[in-house]
Amino acid sequence: MNLTDKVVIITGASSGIGEATAKKLAKDGAKVVLMARREDKLKALKDTIENDGGTALVVSGDVIKKDDFDQVVDATVKAYGKIDGLINNAGLMPLSFVEKLKTDEWEQMVDVNIKGVLNGVAAVLPKMKTNNGGHIINISSMAAHRYFPGGAVYCATKSAVKMFSEGLRQELAPKYGINVTSIEPGAVATELTDTITDEDIKENMQDMQNMTTLEAEDIANAIHYALLQPNRVNINDIYLVPSEQK
């Protein structure tokens, strides 16, 4: 099996896991729709994918804004006539200890990491329900399984994504053949830690730099595996961590 002509929307496609996933899925024949705020990065990725023989559409937008998601869905349906998959990948991780009360950053995490996922589902569901099946993949985290320093709010958002995914699966898979997968990676080498403003946490993160982390491509491979399964198989969770991570 491969992903030929499957239409897949990927949020947070401008870097890291989203970018690697777009390349991987496009290489296997999927038509990928690239969403994030940095349009220049998305356009460069589209060029790379198309130079490699793939098909990509750029619709820049902010996952916090429902209207932006609706535009992505409209543009996707106009270009390709259907939506087979949604990868809710966009996320932020501005870690800090709760007592520092960085409430603006808590709000950003709740908005992007949780509401962004809900917005994505709300936007694609009416169209996906009319298909013969579909697949929604939410990028949760190892942070849904355990707390790490400064991660109380981030871990809460990723736990929410994991549990939401399970509820969504139970509601959608039996009724509409829409499968749902939660991907829960440990440390991956991406730009994610750039969102950290807290100096104490930044120092902590430097300790992690001696560890061999996962590559974004490792997560793209996990997403690809989940998407490749026949519709009768729902991969509920994929929890993958660097061999060196405790």
Tokens of 32: 């990928």
Min dist CB 94 to ligand NDP, Å, is 11
| 80 counts as catalytic | no
Q: Which of 80, 147, 154, 225 is catalytic?
A: 154
Q: What is the rounded distance in angstroms from the CA atom of residue 34 to the CA atom of residue 199? A: 33
What phi, psi does 188 have (nearest 5°)?
-125, 140
Contact positions toward ligand NDP, by CB under 6 A? 11-12, 14-18, 36-38, 41, 62-64, 89-93, 112, 139, 141, 185, 187-188, 190-192, 216
Cβ distance to ligand NDP smaller for residue 145 or 176: 145
DSSP code for 144: G
- CA 1 to chain centroid, in Å, comes to 23
Torsion (CA) 181, 219, 147, 137 in degrees, nearest 10: -20
Q: What is the rounded distance in angstroms from the CA atom of residue 246 to the CA atom of residue 235? A: 24
Min dist CB 37 to ligand NDP, Å, is 3
DSSP code for 188: B
Tokens of 13: 């496609």
> Cα 172–164–222 angle (5° rounding)?
80
3-class DSSP state of 14? coil
Would you name the residues annotated as active-site residues?
154
